[in-house]
Amino acid sequence: MNGAPARAVGAVTEREVLQDAVFGSPLLGPVLKGWSDVQLPDAWLVAGAVAQAVWNARLHYAPGHGLRDIDIVYHDPDDLSEATEESHAVRIRALFAECPARFDVKNEARVHCWYEAKFGYPIAPYPSVAAAIATFPTTATTVGIRPGSAGLDVIATHGLSDLCNLVVRPNRVQVTRRIYEAKVARWQTLWPTLHIEKW
């Protein structure tokens, strides 16, 4: 059934689609269940891993299909050290050592320190994780989740409609056309039934 067309969301809410996909994932579910051990300030599970869990669930692919890494972000403006960030990454990789995916742990408060060297233009410091998520390259990936009293706490800058309906649309707040097109070219080969909007 890999790649079968997705059923319409219908009476199920978009939040329920998201929640079922991430808690039902053998990759993300254990991370969310062990979230209290992450112990980072304002920490969220974000971006591609979240979107790809939804796509794989809706399109009936294996849970790890296309997943490069699991992104955990946090915001600590009081410690912009790369060494501290890496020590958190090492600790979290050990914490979830049974997970076959790689963990990428980033302090969003220090992204401006390295962004220009990597992407060719400077950015201002992010004042919060929510502000960072709002700049992610597609509307479907401007989403952050973590366990909450109602199942999930969710940041969704552009809502959940594009994510749950398999629409990939550029978020032009910060990224360039080149970055967007490189990202979606890979996704199109892995999830060919996604509806990808041109830049």
Q: Which of 176, 177, 175, 143 is nearest to 158 (CA)?
A: 143
Comparison of pLDDT for 114 and 7, the residue scoring more:
114
Per the domain annotation, does 55 fall within a domain?
Answer: yes
- pLDDT, average across residues 107-119: 96
pLDDT tens digit string along 4-47?
444 445 557 999 999 999 999 999 999 999 999 999 999 999 99
pLDDT tens digit string along 61-92?
999 999 999 999 999 999 999 999 999 999 99
Per the domain annotation, does 109 fall within a domain?
Answer: yes
- CA-CA distance, 124 to 115, in Å (whole number)? 10
Per the domain annotation, does 7 fall within a domain?
Answer: no
Per the domain annotation, does 2 fall within a domain?
Answer: no
| Structural domain containing residue 25 | 14-196
**pLDDT of residue 139 exceeding 60:** yes
Tally of domains in the chain: 1
- CA-CA distance, 35 to 17, in Å (whole number)? 20
- Give me 151's structure tokens: 């199942």
- pLDDT, average across residues 111-120: 95
Residue 198 CB neighbour total at 10 angstroms: 9
The packing angle between helices 48-59 and 14-24, to 10°, is: 100
Per the domain annotation, does 119 fall within a domain?
Answer: yes
Binning pLDDT at 50, 70 and 90, where does residue 151 land? confident
- CA-CA distance, 134 to 147, in Å (whole number)? 20
- pLDDT, average across residues 123-131: 98
Give the amino acid at 187.
Answer: W
Q: Which of 96, 81, 83, 18 is nearest to 53 (CA)?
A: 18
